[in-house]
Structure 1
């Protein structure tokens, strides 16, 4: 009798999975096509992105990775799925990034909602705003503070995972909230430095797994109280306070400080219109049917979270890669380029944003860093409400499709010796080859959902890298030889696979004045 019941359940399970039969002709392992839990196992092990990359190497540019999920790896699929006006929308996966129970620019499902919110903010993040004016001056001043921080480091050795996180935290908080909500981590404020502690907990990856694969159960776990909470506490994926709790609290406090200041005539204002000021102009108190308090708070908090890890992780890998003995030649070429900079900020003496943006070799170094060490290397899932055709394959409505920078950036047919850090590849190549590489380079996403902070990130990276290598030579600290830094992204830790040892959230670099 038991065997009969099991057989019936098994038959029902198979039948339900046959709903995605249009996907049956797509190559891939049968175990992945059979159940979504096969890919969930890779998530649990922290190997999802590398595993999908291996499947592409074996099966080609189109691989079925779930009963209703397909991974692609080609420029044609990139344009079809992520191009402007594609009709593909974000999946419920992104709802794990809601803040204060409110959706925001990053988590909106529909193209319409996203476009309406983006319209309020696009100019604030435009390239012209970033390169000239008060925002550029603010970033230059923060770079000067970072150089001062390096001066205070004992023996000239800095643990740059931390110090660069302080740098990006101080910039994004002032950009969003103005001085009243800005942090001063680079200046040694212990409370502000402590905001980063909750993202360093290794349990962060386990919590992400539960939030994605068991969302209702996870929500139930973390909303229990009283005796039930005490009983369940040892079994929580991550102990409270959970990931980003401190940062979200700082963001909420900054919102309330700003809201309170609106009633005071002597409210402190920045030299430029901050993000929260732009959003407040659309608050329901200013416009009928406008944004609610927590919608503005959520939007700002999301930008805060997005603006910390991405920029700092990229800068860390850039400095680490240039500090490797085999890459000293790249560092010296960069120094030759930045040494010619004469246009300095009047306030800080730092190379100014506009001149740094024109440095061709520095741009090649940043491109290569983002290619090999993309801060968000994993899949970006999408779905379409109507059937579609991608790379000649019919995809049913509602199926999940995705691509990842990790796989795109490691195609050996496009990037010679793809695991090697080689900025020269972006300069010493034919126009045809360069154009092909650009088609496969996807560090900031694309289309309407392209990273809104791309120009702010580029200004931060170009000014800091130019200022550091104009003043310093860098090398790997003796305690960090033969090791690669690692960064956490969702369920995984990413690092340079060419090195035998990995240290998560740590990177020691020696800075010596030229």
Structure 2
């Protein structure tokens, strides 16, 4: 009797302790218990949010919950979602660090700037390249100007002209354009991609890149389970995904090696377009970091220990993000323009007002002055509204709360909690963006056609979050904006676009998201003056 009683008491005690630790405390006693639950189970189980993410409906679901419960919600036992400018400032402007979720962006087994978990190594790496991604540097870079001229005049515009009256998958075309653009800036035109003219390899590369993207869920959300099952030869992620990643990494490493050989050559290439702007800045930055005396670099254990792999990791991150986000945005811009012939006409009229136009019929080939390009309100407005309405990265961008705790909104949040916001929701606040589900470029115009007050315009700009915010916001935002303006200017100065097949144009739900169909077919017509 006594011997039976001890196991029973132990079992009851263990059960009571488990109930307290996993249900009672998180649901009723924890500081997080004051935060509204997105789902009835959110306080004690992550299953609901894991299923939502697995089902690829996180953006829409969390936006719906925020609309009902407010700007701070609890989506799991140790996870918070936020949705207002004050919370964005606390999370992204307050120095909260990244967590294990970003390890999937480590390439070649080493972190890049984007995946660096802590702010100090991130800042050290950012200092090496932030100058060449600054607006003033890009706008005044002879290398960028020549690279853009080659890509637009020798590749993109001839490709479009050769396909007049035929249907063109512009998502594929824009991915090629932006890949050629970003790799030229990274490696110089000599060692960059030429996807616009090499269609066969472009389709192979993009197939590798995009088919493997479907399998990021398990590595990001269930990394321990994924690793454990892999040891038992149970693969949640198909083995061919590793093969695809290896081929993509090898492709990038080959360009890195060729570019470093180019930089080390005694005879310098006089062609400005061949200047590897970003890789050159990174190589110089690493050399300077190595020469520091009297103190150990915060990059000693990663970047300086594996310099070649660290450079390659940085480059593949830039070319991946640089081609995908801009390619998606250009696709959605062209879709909206293709539905409005009058808007296309007004845009062309604005583009023709530039001192340096991009008319193919002109004998004066060249790239518009960046300052002139930035004065075009309609061009700026259609891009900004597309970035608001269909941000290329609409998904959650998580951070980790600092120990012992921090304040977010009206709540005290313990340390070690995953917390994040998503542009999809931030951009759909009806108080800031009236009728948010309508694409309305006029909300970004500052002329008499826009009835917003100056204070409303300030709020409009404060809530714009397509490039994130804080010290870890997108380093390539200036490059992306200028590149997209040039591409739109080149196309709509010379052509009009018309929809052939836009089935599935709705934006997919996910972290980085294009059309659900992964295509948009348009027909181009040359404008005759």
Q: Go from structure 1 to structure 2 and tell me whether the alpha carbon gap of 1:344 and 1:245 turns closer, same or farther (over 3 Å shift).
A: farther
Q: Go from structure 1 to structure 2 and tell me whether the alpha carbon gap of 1:45 and 1:242 turns closer, same or farther (over 3 Å shift).
A: farther
Q: TM-score, normalised by structure 1?
A: 0.88
Q: Given that residues 409 and 440 in structure 1 are in contact (C-alpha distance below 8 angstroms), is that contact kept between their aligned partners in structure 2?
A: yes
Instruction: Please give the alpha-carbon distance, in whole angstroms, between the structure 1 residues aligned to 2:96 and 2:194.
Output: 40
Higher mean C-alpha displacement, 56-65 vs 349-358? 349-358
Instruction: Please give the alpha-carbon distance, in whole angstroms, between the structure 2 residues aligned to 1:208 and 1:257.
Output: 30
Q: Go from structure 1 to structure 2 and tell me whether the alpha carbon gap of 1:178 and 1:333 turns closer, same or farther (over 3 Å shift).
A: same
Among 87, 93, 112, the residue aligned to 2:120: 112
The answer on 1:402 being equivalent to 2:420 is: yes
Instruction: Please give the alpha-carbon distance, in whole angstroms, between the structure 2 residues aligned to 1:26 and 1:488.
Output: 25
Among 131, 136, 151, the residue aligned to 2:139: 131
Q: What's the counterpart of residue 500 of structure 1?
A: none
CA offset digits 1:373-396 (Å, max 9, x no partner): 000001111123231111111111
CA offset digits 1:93-122 (Å, max 9, x no partner): 111100001111101111111111100001
CA deviation after TM superposition for structure 1 residue 513, in Å: 1.6
Q: Go from structure 1 to structure 2 and tell me whether the alpha carbon gap of 1:169 and 1:15 turns closer, same or farther (over 3 Å shift).
A: same
Q: Go from structure 1 to structure 2 and tell me whether the alpha carbon gap of 1:30 and 1:208 turns closer, same or farther (over 3 Å shift).
A: same
Residue pairs, 1:218-257, within 5 angstroms: 218-219=226-227, 236-237=237-238, 239-241=240-242, 244-257=245-258
The answer on 1:173 being equivalent to 2:183 is: yes
| Backbone CA RMSD of aligned residues | 2.8
Q: What's the counterpart of residue 416 of structure 1?
A: 434
Among 310, 324, 327, the residue aligned to 2:325: 310
CA deviation after TM superposition for structure 1 residue 151, in Å: 1.1
Q: What's the counterpart of residue 94 of structure 1?
A: 102
The count of corresponding residues between Structure 1 and Structure 2 is 491
The 3-state SS of whatever aligns with 1:484 is coil
Instruction: Please give the alpha-carbon distance, in whole angstroms, between the structure 2 residues aligned to 1:79 and 1:105.
Output: 21
Q: Go from structure 1 to structure 2 and tell me whether the alpha carbon gap of 1:168 and 1:62 turns closer, same or farther (over 3 Å shift).
A: same
Instruction: Please give the alpha-carbon distance, in whole angstroms, between the structure 1 residues aligned to 2:145 and 2:16.
Output: 61
Q: Go from structure 1 to structure 2 and tell me whether the alpha carbon gap of 1:376 and 1:285 turns closer, same or farther (over 3 Å shift).
A: closer
Instruction: Please give the alpha-carbon distance, in whole angstroms, between the structure 2 residues aligned to 1:242 and 1:7.
Output: 49
Instruction: Please give the alpha-carbon distance, in whole angstroms, between the structure 1 residues aligned to 2:197 and 2:428.
Output: 39
Q: Given that residues 351 and 466 in structure 1 are in contact (C-alpha distance below 8 angstroms), is that contact kept between their aligned partners in structure 2?
A: no
CA deviation after TM superposition for structure 1 residue 311, in Å: 0.5
Among 68, 71, 74, the residue aligned to 1:61: 71
Q: Go from structure 1 to structure 2 and tell me whether the alpha carbon gap of 1:447 and 1:285 turns closer, same or farther (over 3 Å shift).
A: closer
The answer on 1:342 being equivalent to 2:355 is: yes
CA offset digits 1:224-281 (Å, max 9, x no partner): 7xxx86xx57x64463355654432211111222334455423657624521112222
CA deviation after TM superposition for structure 1 residue 192, in Å: 4.1
Instruction: Please give the alpha-carbon distance, in whole angstroms, between the structure 2 residues aligned to 1:237 and 1:38.
Output: 25
Instruction: Please give the alpha-carbon distance, in whole angstroms, between the structure 1 residues aligned to 2:409 and 2:186.
Output: 41
The 3-state SS of whatever aligns with 1:210 is helix
Residue pairs, 1:189-228, within 5 angstroms: 190-201=200-211, 204-205=213-214, 207-219=215-227
Q: Given that residues 485 and 506 in structure 1 are in contact (C-alpha distance below 8 angstroms), is that contact kept between their aligned partners in structure 2?
A: no
CA deviation after TM superposition for structure 1 residue 297, in Å: 1.4
Q: What's the counterpart of residue 486 of structure 2?
A: 463
Q: Given that residues 172 and 307 in structure 1 are in contact (C-alpha distance below 8 angstroms), is that contact kept between their aligned partners in structure 2?
A: yes
Q: Go from structure 1 to structure 2 and tell me whether the alpha carbon gap of 1:36 and 1:472 turns closer, same or farther (over 3 Å shift).
A: same
CA deviation after TM superposition for structure 1 residue 11, in Å: 5.4
CA deviation after TM superposition for structure 1 residue 10, in Å: 8.4
Residue pairs, 1:134-145, within 5 angstroms: 134=142, 135-144=144-153, 145=155
The 3-state SS of whatever aligns with 1:240 is helix
The answer on 1:374 being equivalent to 2:391 is: yes
Q: Given that residues 486 and 506 in structure 1 are in contact (C-alpha distance below 8 angstroms), is that contact kept between their aligned partners in structure 2?
A: no
The 3-state SS of whatever aligns with 1:198 is helix
Instruction: Please give the alpha-carbon distance, in whole angstroms, between the structure 2 residues aligned to 1:410 and 1:6.
Output: 49
Q: Given that residues 172 and 308 in structure 1 are in contact (C-alpha distance below 8 angstroms), is that contact kept between their aligned partners in structure 2?
A: yes
Query: Which ranges of structure 2 fall in alignment gaps of 5 or more residues?
Result: 1-6, 292-299
CA deviation after TM superposition for structure 1 residue 194, in Å: 2.1
Instruction: Please give the alpha-carbon distance, in whole angstroms, between the structure 2 residues aligned to 1:513 and 1:55.
Output: 47
The answer on 1:52 being equivalent to 2:62 is: yes
CA offset digits 1:388-447 (Å, max 9, x no partner): 111111111111111111001111122111111110012212212211211211111111
The answer on 1:21 being equivalent to 2:30 is: yes
Q: Given that residues 332 and 386 in structure 2 are in contact (C-alpha distance below 8 angstroms), is that contact kept between their aligned partners in structure 1?
A: yes
Q: Go from structure 1 to structure 2 and tell me whether the alpha carbon gap of 1:171 and 1:347 turns closer, same or farther (over 3 Å shift).
A: farther
Among 286, 299, 306, the residue aligned to 2:314: 299
CA deviation after TM superposition for structure 1 residue 200, in Å: 3.1
Q: What's the counterpart of residue 426 of structure 1?
A: 444
The 3-state SS of whatever aligns with 2:429 is coil
Q: Given that residues 485 and 507 in structure 1 are in contact (C-alpha distance below 8 angstroms), is that contact kept between their aligned partners in structure 2?
A: no
Instruction: Please give the alpha-carbon distance, in whole angstroms, between the structure 2 residues aligned to 1:9 and 1:336.
Output: 74
Q: Given that residues 409 and 415 in structure 1 are in contact (C-alpha distance below 8 angstroms), is that contact kept between their aligned partners in structure 2?
A: yes
Query: Which ranges of structure 1 fall in alignment gaps of 5 or more residues?
Result: 496-502
Instruction: Please give the alpha-carbon distance, in whole angstroms, between the structure 2 residues aligned to 1:347 and 1:489.
Output: 44
Q: Which has the larger radius of gyration?
A: 2
Q: What's the counterpart of residue 103 of structure 1?
A: 111
The 3-state SS of whatever aligns with 2:522 is strand
